[in-house]
Amino acid sequence: MRSSRDAPVDRMGVEKCYDSSAPPQVMRYQVLLSLMLSSQTKDEVTSAAMLRLRQRGLTVDSILQMDDVTLGEIIYPVGFWRNKVKYIKQTTAILKQKYGGDIPSTVEELVKLPGVGPKMAHLAMHIAWNNVSGIGVDTHVHRITNRLKWVKKETRSPEETRVALEDWLPRDLWREINWLLVGFGQQTCLPVNPRCRECLNQDICPAAKRR
Ligand code: SF4
């Protein structure tokens, strides 16, 4: 069901938002920034905001020099854009002062940055550092693994789901489960009215609606 890789996440997800020809440190900063912009925001909107930022040269220094109003105008309409302006500025200042303009290379340090949660930290480790530290569980991965009962008992938060999945899922699948299920959730196993009739899981899925 994901073989055509044509979901929004495949075309406009965080892995497509950074400048892969930029110096590694700049690339890693752009990965972190796109993750911060992406929470509660559609891939299309995050991708467009990243493009506007990159057109002005997206680096730690360019963001520190930018005033908050301008940053807000550029990232609008990403979800919670006012808070994100604040978090981006605070995090970027910390990166400059404490990490020489790079991003930290551990989950423990990443989650201490303002506006960075566990999902973002694990995805930053995958994408920016090519280091699979844990499963990136967003709302799609959380919902679908509960529908399919891939967690022993129902979990109430993405963080609980991450721990439950990591308990049994082979480590070499931790990276791909994110983009596979995010795209599946965007195209088939929708939050409301999942397309069960066209889903190849319908005979094995405990949550399948068969009418
Ligand atoms: S059968 Fe329905 S609920 Fe189950 S995985 Fe497929 S789309 Fe989702």
Predicted local confidence at residue 211, as pLDDT: 59
Tokens of 136: 């990136």
Which residues, judged by CB distance below 6 Å to any ligand atom, belong to the binding site of ligand 1?
147-148, 188-189, 194-196, 199, 201-202, 205, 207-208
DSSP 190-210: -SSS--GGG-TTTTT-TT---
- Cβ neighbours for 105, distance < 8 A, ≥ 6 positions apart: 125, 129, 131
At residue 209, the pLDDT reads 86
- Ligand 1 atom closest to residue 205's alpha carbon, by position in its atom list: 4
Distance of alpha carbon 79 from alpha carbon 93, whole angstroms: 22
**Pairwise CA distance, residues 35 & 187, whole Å:** 21
pLDDT tens for each residue of 124-160:
999 999 999 999 999 999 999 999 999 999 999 999 9
Question: Residue 211, SS3?
Answer: coil
Residues whose CB is less than 8 angstroms from the CB of residue 2 and which lie 6 or more positions away in sequence, other chains included: 180, 183, 184
| Two structure tokens written together for 69 | 């109003």
d(CA 91, CA 113) in angstroms, rounded, equals 6
User: pTM of the full predicted structure?
Assistant: 0.93
Low-confidence ranges of the chain (pLDDT < 50): none
> By three-state DSSP, how is residue 13 classified?
coil
d(CA 148, CA 153): 11
Is residue 195 within 8 A of residue 188, CB to CB? The reply is: yes
Closest CA to 70 of 90, 81, 48, 102: 81
Cβ pair 149, 206 in contact under 8 A: yes
Q: What is the largest CA-CA distance in the chain?
A: 58
In the residue annotation, 209 being an active-site residue is answered as: no
Q: For a substitution probing ligand 1, which of 141, 151, 180, 201 has the most ligand atoms within 8 Å of its CB?
A: 201
Atom of ligand 1 at shortest range from CA of 208: 1
- Note whether 31 and 110 are within 8 A (CB): no
Name the residue among 42, 26, 17, 11 with its Cα closest to residue 138. Answer: 42
